[in-house]
A and B are shown apart, each in its own frame.
Chain A
Amino acid sequence: MSDQTSQITTADGTPLKLSLHRAERAKKIRSFIFLVPTLTFIFITFLIPIADMLFRSVHTPEVRALLHHSVKSLQGWDGSGLPDERAYHALAQELKLLKKERTLGKVALRLNYEKSGMRSLLSKTARKLEKIHEGPFKNKLIGIDKRWGERETWAVIKLLGKRFTITHYLSAFDLKYDVDGNVIAQPAEQQIHSKIWLRTLWVSLLVTALCLILGYPVAYLLATLPLRISNLLMICVLLPFWTSLLVRLTSWIVLLQKQGVLNDILVWIGIISDENRVRMVYNMTGTFVAMTQVLLPFMILPLYSVIKTISPDYVRAARSLGANPVRAFWEIYVPQTVPGIGAGSILVFILAIGYYITPAIVGGATGQLISNFIALHMSKTLNWGLAAAMGTTLLAGVLAIYWLYNRIVGIENMKFG
């Protein structure tokens, strides 16, 4: 009997604890079912593409698949001196085959990203090999082009023969492998990406600072004015937020270009002469002005929601205790707004480092950011692997900052409008 009394059971004899546990699990599952469709949808349409991009940034299947035997026979090569006849033979046979199957281009293109000139070297060699049927191929290949007698050429083939490499990541930071497999800097005149990364960081920081300086007073004013007036002024913040980005950029061009409204006004007032109109768009100035205006609401809104909750009593108390206005503001008021400053700044910063359209339209040649280079590699140089590697790096940066944001404000506190 003692056994039965110690264990409370439900009507059908199951122990209550188990039964409760089951019920809870059933509830969990039932709630979770609501999430399944959306999760699946986001997985397929969004997360898999992102994962695919991560994969593409390190995956180098072309050389391995198409120059299979050459890569295999290079495995034993230690990189000093030239590979032996086996490698030359395998390469000659495979180049002939690829030429016949019209798949040479894929390998050539991939190798050319790593070392300029590889593309034409391969197609030229394949063309000339059509007339050569017998080995030994070592001297014949070197006869076709002396680059086949250089270690660098073979090192590139061996390097890209691996299934996964980080060459795109190196390239994203202006680095590369040298012939012995050490990571070295690319020639100075070709270094472009690290400069753009730095510029992107710098522009984002500056835009964040500008937004904070411009946004703080406005958020303060909105939070302290009577509701009727502040609601009216709030429209000035919300309307740009809701207006199409392209519309605002069009407008900035109209305002800032040489024959534009602002220059006209300056000439009319007499500050500048008609010949010396100022160039304010299609350069860094344009990027700054437009980005600040576009991102300002993202600073004002979180600041506003924090400032609104601050009671004026503290400042009043500080003043009555003898603090001058500057000190009361700086030591009493500002610390209370830090959560808002943090939230707004991180939000603006995250958005700024990923900006693409604004610099593309008003940035000219000098106002381009990292996203513009990702786009360049996607649509102009067609180096999709490099674009993917740069995208992945940017994503990692954003997620790190976002993690910080989550620690400070919490993901669920995000609000709009």
Chain B
Amino acid sequence: MAFPSYAGKLEKTWYYVFRIICGLVLFFLMAPIVVLIPLSFNAEPYFTFTPGMLSLDADAFSLRWYHDILSNPQWIHSMKNSVIIGFFATILATGFGTLAAWGLSRPYTPFRVPIMGLLISPMIVPIIISAAGMFFFYSKVGLSQTYPGLILAHTALGIPFVIITVTATLIGFDESLIQASASLGANLLTTWRKVILPLILPGVISGALFAFVTSFDEIVAVLFLSGFEQRTIPRQMWSGIREQISPTILAVATLLVLFSIALLTTVELLRRRSERLRGVKPS
């Protein structure tokens, strides 16, 4: 490592100490995610490494907790619920969010800042308050403990994320492209489909992913709004953790970690693609 000429001995020592500190912080961030994965293959119903696991004895590892997920109707049911609710909430949030982002980015839109504030308020308001408000109101109108109730709640919570990501891709959007398209004879729908959408698509998809993760990971609204029938994965984990941690939870958690790695990769690839499309230099 090349140090500047003025660097003293102390400074060089500090350089390494500093890196060690950073390493420790990064370890602190990653440790809880990494430690789950080997433990989920534990052959014994313990939450710690058995001597067999440490000596890499093949018998100490097993897939029994993964089999457990598949044979437990409650987990399967909650997975179905998470996918159903997440899917519909994502579709709705992406539609509403993209439309709003487009509206917000039009140069003539009045009251842009207050409207933006209102639209992203579900993200700002602490979730317990949103859940409380929704619980009181949805109970009144008969939406609590129903699928539509949860889908609407998750849509509202997901919309801000779509608006923000799509707005980001619309920054620097070249208005003349629309005029060019119109002058070549395309109608509004064609322009939207063939010109605008492809350009903002990466933003829309990552917005949709954000909305999906929001719904998929959401637990507070689910706690208050869902009945037993609408249990999602986080709800199932919540009761699992509070009643009795079975290693099955570790297996589910490991699967969810893999899932988040896949999502993270997708979002990162989309971001790069978007920057390339818009001609921004990759950062």
Co-assembled chains A and B? yes
- Give the residue name and chain of the A residue nearest to B137 (CB): A49
Is the beta-carbon distance between A27 and B108 smaller than 8 angstroms? yes
Chain B 28-71 interface 0/1 with A at a Cβ cutoff of 8 Å (1 = within)? 11111101100100000011110000000000000000000000
Among A98-106, A148-156, A177-185, A250-258, the one that faces the other chain is A250-258
Separation of A38 and B99 alpha carbons in the complex (Å):
7
Separation of A116 and B159 alpha carbons in the complex (Å):
44
Chain A 32-48 interface 0/1 with B at a Cβ cutoff of 8 Å (1 = within)? 11110111011001111
Is the beta-carbon distance between B36 and A52 smaller than 8 angstroms? no
Known: A52-B136, A254-B39, A417-B267. A31 touches B108 (CB 8 A): yes
Separation of A238 and B168 alpha carbons in the complex (Å):
19
Q: Which residues of B contact A247 (CB under 8 A)?
A: 33, 36, 237, 253, 256-257
Q: Which residues of B contact A12 (CB under 8 A)?
A: none
Q: Which residues of B contact A56 (CB under 8 A)?
A: 136
A206 at the interface (CB under 8 A from B): no
* Contact partner, B136, options A245, A253, A356, A384, Cβ 8 Å: A384
B-side interface mostly: helix
Is the beta-carbon distance between A260 and B48 smaller than 8 angstroms? yes
B22 at the interface (CB under 8 A from A): yes
Separation of A392 and B140 alpha carbons in the complex (Å):
19
Is the beta-carbon distance between A28 and B156 smaller than 8 angstroms? no
Q: Which chain A residues in 124-153 approach chain B with CB under 8 Å?
A: none
* Contact partner, A242, options B104, B168, B263, Cβ 8 Å: B263
Q: Which residues of B contact A415 (CB under 8 A)?
A: 164, 168
Q: Which residues of B contact A236 (CB under 8 A)?
A: 26, 29-30
Q: Which residues of A contact B179 (CB under 8 A)?
A: none
Separation of A249 and B249 alpha carbons in the complex (Å):
11
Chain B 116-143 interface 0/1 with A at a Cβ cutoff of 8 Å (1 = within)? 1111111011111110111111101000
Is the beta-carbon distance between A31 and B260 smaller than 8 angstroms? no
Q: Which residues of B contact A218 (CB under 8 A)?
A: 22, 25-26
A214 at the interface (CB under 8 A from B): yes
Is the beta-carbon distance between A39 and B119 smaller than 8 angstroms? yes
A272 at the interface (CB under 8 A from B): no
Is the beta-carbon distance between B156 and A261 smaller than 8 angstroms? no
A316 at the interface (CB under 8 A from B): yes
Is the beta-carbon distance between A239 and B261 smaller than 8 angstroms? yes
Q: Which residues of B contact A394 (CB under 8 A)?
A: 126, 128-129
* Contact partner, A243, options B132, B242, B256, Cβ 8 Å: B256
Separation of A402 and B19 alpha carbons in the complex (Å):
34
Chain B nearest CB, measured from A10 CB (Å)? 20
* Contact partner, A398, options B35, B124, B256, Cβ 8 Å: B124
Q: Which chain A residues in 350-392 approach chain B with CB under 8 Å?
A: 350, 353-354, 356-357, 361, 371, 374-375, 378-379, 384, 387-388, 391-392
- Give the residue name and chain of the B residue nearest to A351 (CB): B126
Chain A nearest CB, measured from B121 CB (Å)? 7
Q: Which residues of A contact B219 (CB under 8 A)?
A: 245-246, 357
- Give the residue name and chain of the A residue nearest to B270 (CB): A417
Is the beta-carbon distance between B128 and A354 smaller than 8 angstroms? yes
Q: Which residues of B contact A254 (CB under 8 A)?
A: 35-36, 39, 47-48, 245, 250
Is the beta-carbon distance between A246 and B159 smaller than 8 angstroms? no
Chain A nearest CB, measured from B110 CB (Å)? 5
Which of B125, B219, B250 has the largest number of chain A CB atoms within 10 A?
A: B125
14 A-B pairs within 8 Å (CB atoms) are namely A42-B118, A236-B26, A237-B29, A238-B264, A246-B241, A251-B32, A251-B253, A253-B47, A254-B47, A259-B46, A391-B132, A392-B129, A411-B113, A411-B120
Nearest 7 pairs of A and B residues by beta carbon: A354-B126, A34-B103, A251-B32, A31-B106, A49-B137, A49-B133, A38-B100
